[in-house]
Amino acid sequence: MQRTYIMIGSILGMIGVGIGAFGSHILEPIIGARIETFRTGVEYHFVHAIAVLIAAILAGLFGESALLRWAARLFTAGVVLFSGSLYVLCITGVKVLGAITPLGGLCFIAGWILLAVAGAKYGKKTA
């Protein structure tokens, strides 16, 4: 799990850089005010690429865990659904795609909950 999600998190980060650069240098003059929505997608993309890496690193510290595996899966799915739908919405202008975005948000929330539960379950007690 650790190796796989370090690779996935790193690839998500790399793709985020490319998409962010594309948005800033090529897309902004074309889509105008929708660039703010595009930037929101990029922001959440990056945060959750790092979240995937955190889940993978914690798997190395705590050991393999279904909680951490599912957290990483949900963060990855969230990037695809949340950020991906915003990217496509901004490029195409098809507003119905915005209906997919909340599903990605739910994936993000569920991933953070699982990460917290894994921390509570496997983390070292200091007191």
Place of tokens 């919405």: 89
Q: Residue 14: its pLDDT value, please?
A: 98
Q: Smallest Cα–Cα separation from 108: which of 80, 86, 89, 85? A: 80
On whether the CB atoms of residues 100 and 86 are closer than 8 A, the answer is no
Q: Residue 123: its pLDDT value, please?
A: 80
pLDDT in tens, 43-57: 999 999 999 999 999
pLDDT in tens, 62-117: 998 999 999 999 999 999 999 999 999 999 999 898 899 999 999 999 999 999 99
DSSP string, 73-117: HHHHHHIIIIIHHHHHHHHH--GGGGGTHHHHHHHHHHHHHHHHH
126 pLDDT tier (thresholds 50, 70, 90): low
Q: Residue 70: its pLDDT value, please?
A: 98
| Alpha-carbon torsion angle 24, 11, 41, 112, nearest 10 | -150
125 pLDDT tier (thresholds 50, 70, 90): low
The whole model's pTM is what? 0.93
| Alpha-carbon torsion angle 68, 1, 44, 23, nearest 10 | 180
**So where are the chain's domains?**
2-122
Q: Residue 41: its pLDDT value, please?
A: 97
Q: Residue 10: its pLDDT value, please?
A: 97
